[in-house]
C-alpha cells in the first residue's frame, strides 16, 4: 500500500516535469491527494508523526486546490 501511494505522488510529479500535465489539472491534484492520503494513513499506523504531518498537509493543499472555485471563463 505504501509503495502505491508513493508511486502516485511521484508519478504526478514526473508527469508535471515532463510537461504532460499542469499543476492545476484535476488529474495531477487527485493523484497527489490520493497518494498522500495513503502515505499519511500508513505513517499514522506506524506512529511516524513527521510523515503524517507532511502527507496530511500535502493532502489538504491538494484537496483545497481541487475544490476551490475557478474563475469564470470570459
C-alpha cell recorded at residue 48: 511516524
**pLDDT at 21 (0 to 100):** 96
Rounded to whole angstroms, the Cα distance separating 8 from 31 reads 6
Look at residue 16 and give its three-state secondary structure.
Answer: helix
User: Per-10-residue mean pLDDT for the chain, 74 residues long?
Assistant: 96 97 94 97 97 96 89 67
Task: Indicate the pTM of the whole model.
Answer: 0.86
**CB-hemisphere CA count at 13 Å for 33?**
16
Rounded to whole angstroms, the Cα distance separating 20 from 65 reads 19
**pLDDT at 70 (0 to 100):** 75
Amino acid at each position: 500500500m505504501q509503495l502505491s501511494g508513493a508511486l502516485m505522488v511521484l508519478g504526478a510529479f514526473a508527469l508535471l516535469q515532463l510537461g504532460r500535465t499542469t499543476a492545476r489539472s484535476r488529474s495531477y491534484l487527485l493523484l497527489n491527494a490520493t497518494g498522500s492520503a495513503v502515505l499519511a494513513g500508513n505513517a499514522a499506523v506506524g506512529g511516524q508523526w513527521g510523515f503524517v504531518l507532511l502527507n496530511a498537509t500535502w493532502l489538504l493543499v491538494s484537496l483545497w486546490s481541487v475544490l476551490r472555485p475557478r474563475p469564470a471563463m470570459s
